[in-house]
Structure 1
Amino acid sequence: MDDLTTKRCVPCNSKDMRPMTEQSAKEQLSQVHGWNLSTEGGVMKLHRSWKVKSFTKGLEFFQLVADVAEAEGHHPDLHLVGWNDVKIDIWTHAVGGLTENDFILAAKIGSLQVEHLLRKKPAAT
């Protein structure tokens, strides 16, 4: 399989673009370490969480993600829950499910250098 970080997202305005099947999504999932499949309201999405050091580190994290999303023209749903729980959901809103664009964006987000923003130990639950 191609390295997804070298690919570019394609515009979502094509009438031919369709959401991928769950089987296809499961096959692609191995290329985006740390991401999981979730289904919400019948829509399959990519989901991942991180624990950041502080609220402001969460905002810095989001800025790094925003820069990638803008460059790709493909935008995730960003959530800062509490003061340090960053959650990202990616799906192609235009088709109501997952496309290769989502995996490309997830791979690029996954390759960001964010270690300096993350907690060293998981937070107690």
Structure 2
Amino acid sequence: MDDLSAKKCIPCNSKDMQPMNEESTNDLIAKVPGWNLVNEGEKLKLSRSWKVKSFMKGLEFFRVVAGVAESEGHHPDLHLVGWNNVTIDIWTHAVGGLTENDFILAAKINALDLAHLLRRKAAV
């Protein structure tokens, strides 16, 4: 199955789950357009930013994303800075880095219909 958005996140409580190395993440990043790899203190994360139409649209944006995150049991870090700058950081907290779950969630977020919440020219 090549389509990440069709996969389901697996529970993060497995002792066998390990963070991916940078080479593995480079293979998957192309499958989640708009997302960037960020290295924060030796911790790899996925990050993406958008500009929303208003503060309230930003909160609605988070509500829509939260629905997907909750159904996957995988929860990103959500940031609303200023009145219209939305950023999502995804990483598997339990392993301190990236796993396939992070790319699955990013793909599912990409598949959401969020256009009605975004300014005409979305930040990438």
User: How far is 1:39 from its partner?
Assistant: 1.0
Q: State TM-score, norm by structure 1.
A: 0.95
Q: Which residue of 2 aligns with 1:47?
A: 47
Q: Which residue of 1 aligns with 2:24?
A: 24
Supply the distance in 2 between the matched residues of 1:20 and 1:109 (Cα, whole angstroms): 21
Supply the distance in 2 between the matched residues of 1:112 and 1:122 (Cα, whole angstroms): 14
In structure 2, stretches of 5+ residues that fail to align are none
Please list the CA deviations of residues 51-95 of structure 1 after superposition, one character each: whole Å capped at 9, or x if unmatched.
Answer: 000000000000000000000000000000100000000000000
Supply the distance in 2 between the matched residues of 1:107 and 1:90 (Cα, whole angstroms): 11
Supply the distance in 2 between the matched residues of 1:62 and 1:121 (Cα, whole angstroms): 19
Superposition CA RMSD, Å: 1.2
In structure 1, stretches of 5+ residues that fail to align are none
> Percent of counterpart pairs with the same letter?
72
User: How far is 1:111 from its partner?
Assistant: 0.6
Alignment map for 1:33-72 (pairs within 5 Å): 33-72=33-72
Supply the distance in 2 between the matched residues of 1:62 and 1:42 (Cα, whole angstroms): 27
